[in-house]
Amino acid sequence: MTGENKQQNSGLLGWLLFVVGFTGALFVGWVIFPQLLFSTQYQPINYNHVIHQEEAGMSCEDCHYFRDDGTYAGKPKLAACAECHEEPQGETESEAMLVSEYVEPKKEIPWVSYSRQPDNVFFSHAAHVKMAEMECTDCHGDVGQQTEAPPVKINRLTGYPNKIMKMYVCEDCHAREHVSNSCNVCHK
């Protein structure tokens, strides 16, 4: 074996290792890291939006509505559920759980929010929906078409759900629409 050969061999190995390291890191970064970063939480009840609209004839506003003072009640209270679900409305496991664990002991259902902003953020639904006439789906997607409640991915580091809107998104849109980007428009 000459030293030259040795070098060639080792060079080949080196590049192989480079590719291993490169793809490995890509794999870690793109596949493993997101799985590690986000914890998965499931809704306490596997809520079906479609069935409530189609079979119960409910509209979005029955549960997601503006309060009289202009603030937005995003998640319905147990009382709203209990109006119909005093007794189980069917045979499913979720249904039985709803009645026995929440309706009967009068315990609020701990829904997990997909888009809960931190407490220093003031987001006005009224400004966006009433004044700017935006559609709910513009930000939240077409939730109404969901037949089951998707799991919520929560960032382990920040504690925020993965679908949360970030500040640059707010700023970009405000800038495009010539709306003030002053700090205290959105922060409290």
Contacts with other proteins, residue ranges (CB under 8 A): 1, 5-6, 9-15, 17-30, 33-34, 37, 66-71, 73, 118-120, 122, 124, 126-127, 130-131, 155, 157-160, 180, 182-185, 187-188
AA letter at 107: K
What are the residues whose beta carbons fall under 8 Å from the beta carbon of 125, sequence distance 6 or more? 66, 71, 72
CA distances from 16 to 2, 7, 12, 22, 38 (A): 21, 14, 6, 10, 32
Query: In 10 A of CB 148, how many CB atoms?
Result: 13
DSSP sequence for 58-94: --GGGTSEE-TTS-EE-S--HHHHHTTTTS--SS-HH
